[in-house]
Structure 1
Amino acid sequence: MTRPRRLTGGTPPPVPSVIHAGALRVRGRVAERFLAGHALAPEDAIDFTPDPADRAAFDRLRALGVVRQAGGRWWFDLVAYHLRQRARSRAAVLWSIGLALSLAGLAMLLY
């Protein structure tokens, strides 16, 4: 009996992409529902109708480009969400530094 020949030096099988756990941290019920439905890409889009209580948040996320439509279904752009969060936190830091410096200057004037 002869053994079947095996090829050597082939390419390894593709590894599925892994999303870092920190990237899956989102705020809000709308975002959590998209993550729960694994709708993070156009090919994974889900049918979604927001509750009346969540309609304003859904419309805001749509206006920001975080929730996108693909063929009548919706998906959550995690990269756009985190870029928006980063921009918001950067603005908050700058405002906080400005406020702290203003208060320090005022305290020195009144001392």
Structure 2
Amino acid sequence: MAVESVAITAAGRARRKLVDHFCAQHAITPYDTILYTPPAELKPAFDGLLAERLIRKEGHAYYWLDLRAYEAAVERRRRKLVPVTIAVSVLLAAVAMLFYAG
């Protein structure tokens, strides 16, 4: 399973708590739904996962985690950050070279 290595933001930590809860309850198929009401501090993250259709609703207050969709969302997030990471690394290397050659 592809997982986010470090949840840096509060929203990332909340999202991770929700995903961990659904995985621990094995609510990862439409046949394994769980009755769930999110706590107040996790409600915004829960609503976001519902909007992205990463958590699916079956009936009244029964939910399951679409693991394939979640893994695809993690990969999309990673792909967006790779060019930024490369650019920052090249910039830091250039700055280090200027100080070294200076």
Q: TM-score, normalised by structure 2?
A: 0.72
Partners of 1:77 and 1:106 in 2: CA distance: 44
What amino acid sits opposite 1:63 in the alignment?
A: A
1:1-111 equivalences in 2 (<5 Å): 23=1, 25=3, 28-72=16-60, 73-105=62-94
SS of the aligned residue for 1:28 comes to: helix
Q: Deviations over 1:11-46 (max 9, x none)?
A: xxxxxxxxxxxx285762111111121110111111
Counterpart code for 1:80: A
Q: Which has the higher contact order (CA 8 A, sep 6+)?
A: 2
Once residues 30 and 39 of structure 1 are traced to their aligned partners in structure 2, the CA distance between those partners, rounded to angstroms, is 11
Structure-2 separation of matches of 1:39 and 1:49: 14
Query: How much identity, in percent, do the aligned residues show?
Result: 35
For structure 1, the residue ranges without an aligned partner over 5 or more in a row are 1-22
Note if contact 2:27-2:33 (Cα within 8 Å) is conserved in structure 1.
Answer: yes
Give the alignment's TM-score, normalised by structure 1: 0.67
How much does 1:53 deviate?
1.2
Post-superposition CA distance 1:74-109 (Å, at most 9, x none): 100111111111111121111111222344456667
> Is the 2:33–2:58 Cα contact (8 Å) retained in structure 1?
yes
Q: Which runs of 5+ in 2 are unaligned?
A: 5-14
RMSD of Structure 2 on Structure 1 (CA): 2.3
Mapped to 2, the partners of 1:62 and 1:50 lie a distance apart of 12
Looking at structure 2, the residues matched to 31 and 95 of structure 1 have their Cα atoms a distance apart, in angstroms, of 26
